Amino acid sequence: SHDGEVDESSKHDQLDEVRENPEGEELTSDHGVKISDTDNSLKAGERGPTIMEDFHFREKMTQFDHESIPERVVHARGTGAHGYFQPYEDPDLGDEYDDIEEVTKAKVLTNSDQKTPVFVRFSTVVGSRGSSDTVRDVRGFATKFYTEEGNWDLVGNNMPPFFIQDAMEFPDLVHAIKPEPDDGIPQASAAHDTFWDFASLKPEITHMIMWVLSGRALPRAYRMMQGFGVHTFRLVNDDGESVFVKFHWTPKLGTHQLVWDETTKLWGKSSDFNRKGLYDVIEEGYDPEWELGVQIFDEEQAEAFDFDVLDPTKIVPETEVPVRPIGKMVLNETPDNFFAEVEQVAFHPGNVVPGIDFSNDPLLQGRLFSYQDTQLNRFGSANWDEIPINRPIAERHNNQRAGFMRQEINEGKVSYKPNSIGDDDPQEVPAEEGGYEHYAEKIDGKKIRNRSDSFEDHFTQARLFWNSMSEPEKQNIVDAAHFELGKVDRMEIRERMVYDLFNNVDHEFAKRVAEGIGVEPPESPGDELPDHDREDPSLSMENRT
Ligand code: HEM
């Protein structure tokens, strides 16, 4: 149906209203007063001190002094672009489902007449805002869909598993991977003791480590990178029925990587290699494209897998559930102002629209708190949703009020409910008329702090990944392990990586890694850690790259 069609330009029109183009205009103060001289401060006498009265100096300097805002606590370095998403007409969902409406009522995914405006931000995870692009790291792939039913944020990464299983572990992971707190080294990569110390003591990280040591961590270009929602989400149809879903972005240009020697040369020449790449191709009119694919499965299928679909360190193998393409995304416009758009965009996995819902993945559940919380710190106010890049194109109407930097002028006497005097009182929308309704999942259990037994297998999928690699790809992984672990000072960390993690993935792999980093190769799968005096300093400095 053409009902409620959203033109991709709708977000641009909205942004146009706040765009300022200073070309050819006269210089004014922030208060609109024309300014005659912006190079010289007002002085008491020819060579005298500057005078407090100089309102132009005070304003110019104050604005400058307050230009910086906190960088994101993770994913600080990134870049972004505008574009649109459009569902395919009648996508093939296999034998189980006739059409997309059978699994979701989200119009952004079902209405093929509709182009939904999007803003995408790609990022590295570890480095600070000014760090380099071509480091060994996971890449963020976050998409904000400005749908007619409100904003939907698909806040994904370029690798399908994750490091940890429970959000409770996230601060530890990030403290381990960020620059070491005493010396601030290294600024933007995984190569250091604290990260590998944490990894070697956290077997659940093994699957993700295999991806991080692979070429996936060195994308050739953002437009040649896959994206994954990582968690299992839910889709919900008009009848309130739900299936599970994994989201996949597939680049039209294919998935390509750099090799390590290229990355180090590139980052010596330019720290902006991936940022510039995206900007330049869009400016030149080669608009990058991705296909959105879904893996759809129901509770019964989920129960039959030999892993838990709520465990974010696991993927759903495509041999079990194929990826079905349901639409495409095109990025066709660069930002006008990096700060206003790329820096101020605020994604949140909790921004969902009717037809899309959460699973009980304990990592996802924790993210639902973290993003809003961190954005209070980053923006200093709850009103970041009024910033142009974050504003929905869907109408907003509620009793939320005031706060720092409030921009809306809410009319009327009434900002409470129930009331009898407001004629513009926000009314709740019944679920059947499009109001968001959380999927009524049956939950029955004891309140416990635990890790489900179904989250226990940390090695099967890591092995699956290793076995799926060609020999050159395997060699890349081994070389990466040599480089990374060769930079680790403490021998016991290198040993734990080999014996406690890699030897459980694949014995040959563990031996190949051991041989390059001065660790005694394990003799058989399942070998215990070698027992020796770990105080020996000659061991710990051996074989450093
Ligand atoms: C950014 C927390 C896991 C993808 C962030 C930020 C925080 C955060 C605090 C900064 C947000 C901001 O300042 O606007 C967490 C926590 C996690 C978690 C607590 C686990 C418990 C994940 C996972 C993914 C992911 C599993 C991928 C599926 C991203 C992306 C960004 C981001 C792409 C950057 C968004 C942007 O470009 O602005 N995360 N994260 N995170 N996170 Fe996570």
| Pocket-testing residue among 370, 379, 381, 385, ligand 1, by greatest number of atoms within 8 A of Cβ | 370
> What is the per-residue burial (b if ≥16 Cβ within 10 Å, else e) of 45-57?
eeeeeeeeeeebb
Most distant pair of Cα atoms in the chain: their distance = 86
DSSP string of 42-88, one letter each residue: -BSSTT-PBPTT-HHHHHHHHHHHT---PPPSSS-SEEEEEEEEEEP
- pLDDT averaged over 10-residue windows placed end to end, the chain, 545 residues: 59 88 84 96 97 97 96 98 98 96 98 97 97 97 98 98 98 96 87 94 98 98 98 97 98 97 93 97 98 98 98 98 98 97 98 98 98 97 96 94 94 90 82 93 95 98 98 98 96 97 98 97 90 54 44
pLDDT on residue 5: 56
Q: Which residue has the least CA distance to atom 18 on ligand 1?
A: 367
Is 3 in a helix, a strand, or coil? coil
Which alpha helices (DSSP H) does 123-192 contain, by range?
Answer: 170-177
Question: What was the pLDDT predicted at 4?
Answer: 46
Q: Which residue of the set 82, 111, 151, 157 is catalytic?
A: 157
pLDDT at 540: 46
Whole-number Cα distances in Å, 35 to 44, 55, 251: 19, 10, 50
- Contacts with 225 (C-beta within 8 Å, 6 or more apart), sequence order: 122, 139, 141, 158, 219, 251, 255
Quote the pLDDT of residue 542. 46
pLDDT for the residue numbered 543: 43
The pLDDT, as a whole number, for residue 54 is 98
75 part of the active site? yes
What single letter denotes the amino acid at residue 543? N
pTM for the whole thing? 0.95
CB-based pocket (< 6 A), ligand 1: 72-75, 78, 121, 123, 140, 142, 155-157, 162, 167, 170, 230, 345-347, 363, 366-367, 370-371, 374-375, 378
